[in-house]
Structure 1
Amino acid sequence: MKKTTFFAILIAILAACSSNASPVNFKAGTNPKPFEVTVTGHGQPMLFIPGATCSGDEWKESVAHFSKTHECHVFTLAGYAGTAPIESGPYLETFKTELINYIKTKNLSNVILVGHSIGGFLSLWIASELQDHLSKVVIVDALPFFAGTFNPNAKAGFEESQAKSLLEAYAKMDDTQMKANQLLTTRTLCADSSQWNKIATWGAQSDRKTLAYTITEMMGRDLRTQIASVKVPVLVMAAFMPVKQYPQFTEEYVANTFTRQYSNCKTCRVVTSPPAKHFIMYDAPEWFLEEIDTFIQPS
């Protein structure tokens, strides 16, 4: 099987499901807010949506750079990184709808969306529905139909039984085991070891139902046809890290995989990273900022 960075979520699922620990009671208070947001800087609005389990602090270095010239709205989705979860799903659709409402309520215009992983998936979904307000979109290592990378014949549709199975696996872990699980996963997602503990801590602190259901919801939703309606320019960053054991896994293979998935989006442009895993902003920071700087320059 060809190994790619966007298979890393599967590794997380398998690692969770391999736990033989006894069930652990885990409950968290619910949150009436679908996200937390901080705003810094002035100028054209940029909205930063982090990946699964991550705090908005994932974007700390990016915001330090872009807030000099832009108004940066940085989100942490409810249930991730220690924030209280929303009461019930569908989680991703709620996040998507409320992010659109945020843009409209704040009367933001000429918005640049930047999303990583699940945040990239949400950004793509928003861009397919929100015809006004947006100017450009940056997608960081996310696909319109993640399940299609495993199985070309995969069918769309949320399978709650899968979400429940994943939740049961997470529920068997105490906090120490969950942190170890997330650290194992983080090593597959990020090459920069100085970031591992931070990312794993966010994962361990995340609400387990939110984590299980958002992963499953993303796996079951196919945006490939829907993205034909995207009208604004989209920069898609695909992570590429050579894998010695898999010489057939090349930069061309990654580029082709992403290009096929985004083929219906006529405004999308795919670029592959220099050696970097899923957290491109940490593994190739200079390239990451330069690519976005160039992309968001006024036409």
Structure 2
Amino acid sequence: MKPFNTTLRTLVLALGLTGSLVSLAATAAQTPEPVAATQQQQSCACFDVKVLGQGPAVILIPGVASSGDVWQSTVETLQADYQLHIFTLAGFAGVKPIPMQSWGEGYLAIQQQAILRYISEQQLDKPVVIGHSLGGYLALALAAKAPEQIGGAINVDGLPALGALFAQGNGQTGTTTGDSKPQQNRGGFDPMSMAKSMANNEQWQQRIVADMYRSDGATSGRVMGELMRADLRPQLGKIRVPVLTLGALQHGAPYSTPEQVQKNYENQLANAPAQYHSFAFAPESKHFIMADAPQWLNQQIQQFLQHNRSGAL
């Protein structure tokens, strides 16, 4: 069994911070001076968005250092019946980063505010928010904190409290990261090895690495620091819209069994009301379910949207 601290060190190496590696705790502690919320909202170019299709609105959010293109097969499946708003978050996959002096309460808070502002400005009627990894965390956060503004959420292999999982020492390596920009060969770190740990599909492994290098390393590192400190579990009891969590049971392989991975999810989301929240698990998939089990993923998404379209959505 691989020692837990070695697994954590591999994750830290993946953050690719400029200059000497800084610990996640030290990185997270370097909080910029707060900026008034109204100023943040007016100045934040928080994401790029592509809009395709017609019908009920669906927002698609990728993970750390990932492009909205990770949703391509889902877009092809849904665009005839839904209006799809496909995000790529600031600092990732070639999108300009948000200046850190304007982060205020932090990247996660800024993105939640910006997504809700986008929903209001675009006059979207209770859209479903679908997120992978970091995007899954944001989908859960919106379902818990703003259920009156969204119609439902699908969390694709994200966790509400990544740091708590690592603290347990049963590391489901990198569960809520899309990935992060590496510094090639630093300390022997191999970005392709990390990509292989997150997807079985070789073409997707190349795509993951390419997105790493197109992302801003400082943003990736700071966001990972926030995710390690974040804990949505106390807020999950406030969920009042349908939420589906899709887990990848091979994500921890070979260091965690599928049974351990599933148990981690069930423990972390135990506070979500059973009448609103449900699980489904991809038994043969690693972190990028859209790479390893795209048909299964899209079937789960379609069933969720169809089932809830005439109800809460």
TM class, shorter-chain normalised?
A: 0.7 to 0.9
Pick from 127, 141, 148 the counterpart of residue 143 of structure 2: 127
Unaligned runs of 5+ in 1: 23-30, 154-166
Does the alignment pair 1:148 with 2:147?
no
Q: Is the 8 A contact 1:92 1:214 kept in 2?
A: yes
For the Cα contact (< 8 Å) 1:239–1:280, is it kept in 2? yes
Mapped pair 1:257 → 2:264: yes
Deviation, structure 1 residue 295? 1.5
Match of 2:68 in 1: 56
Per the alignment, residue 229 of structure 1 pairs with 238
Aligned to 1:273: 282
**Contact 1:50/1:76 (<8 A) preserved:** yes
Q: In the alignment, is the contact (CA less than 8 A) between 1:255 and 1:270 conserved in 2?
A: no
- Equivalent-residue separation in structure 2 for 1:264 and 1:243 (angstroms): 23
* CA positional deviation for 1:185: 1.7
Matches of 1:9 and 1:128 in 2, distance apart?
29
C-alpha change, 1:286 and 1:104, in structure 2 (3 Å) is: same
How far apart are residue 269 of structure 1 and its match? Answer: 1.1
The alpha-carbon distance between structure 1 residues 225 and 10, as it changes in their structure 2 partners (threshold 3 A), is farther
Alignment CA distance shift 1:16-1:215 (3 Å): closer
How far did residue 192 of structure 1 move?
Answer: 0.7
Q: Give the superposed CA RMSD.
A: 3.1
Deviation at 1:279, TM superposition (A): 0.1
| Aligned counterparts, 1:1-299, within 5 A | 11-15=10-14, 32-88=44-100, 89=103, 90-152=106-168, 173=183, 181-241=190-250, 249-266=256-273, 267-299=276-308
Task: Give distance in 1, aligned partners of 2:267 and 2:93.
Answer: 33
Moved more, 229-238 or 31-40: 31-40
Counterpart residue identity of residue 134, structure 1: I
Matching residue's letter, 1:76? T
Q: Where do 5+ consecutive residues of structure 2 fail to align?
A: 22-42, 170-179, 309-313
> In structure 2, how many angstroms separate the alpha carbons of the residues matched to 1:255 and 1:295?
20
Give the aligned residue type for 1:219.
Answer: M
What is the alpha-carbon distance in structure 1 between the residues aligned to residue 198 and residue 248 of structure 2? 10
User: How far has the Cα of 1:16 moved from its partner?
Assistant: 5.7
SS at match of 1:134: coil
2:233 aligned counterpart, secondary structure: coil
State the AA in 2 paired with 1:91: Y
Q: Deviations over 1:105-141 (max 9, x none)?
A: 2121131110000011111111111122322211000
Q: TM-score, normalised by structure 1?
A: 0.81
CA shift at 1:68, angstroms? 1.1
Normalised by the size of structure 2, how large is the TM-score?
0.77
1:75 is paired with a residue of what secondary structure?
A: strand
Confirm or deny: 8 A CA contact 2:17 2:218 kept in the other structure.
no
For 1:228-271, what per-residue CA distance to the aligned partner results, in whole angstroms no more than 9, with x for missing partners?
1111111101101287855xx43332222111111111122122
CA positional deviation for 1:182: 3.1
The answer to whether the 8 Å contact 1:255/1:271 transfers is no
Structure 1 Cα separation of the partners of residues 8 and 60 of structure 2: 21
Q: CA deviation at 1:17?
A: 7.5
SS in 2 for 1:216: helix
User: What secondary structure does 2:84 align onto?
Assistant: strand
Shifted more, 208-217 versus 10-19: the winner is: 10-19
Tell me the alpha carbon deviations over residues 133-165 of structure 1, each in whole angstroms, 9 at most, x when there is no partner: 322211000110011112249xxxxxxxxxxxx
Aligned letter for 1:253? Q
State the SS of the aligned residue for 2:110. helix
Query: Following TM superposition, by how much is the alpha carbon of 1:99 offset from its aligned partner in structure 2, in angstroms?
Result: 0.6
| Residues matched between the structures, number | 269
Label 1:56 to 1:177 Cα distance change in 2 as closer, same or farther (>3 A): farther
Q: 2 CA distance for matches of 1:119 and 1:9?
A: 21
Percent identity between the two aligned chains: 29
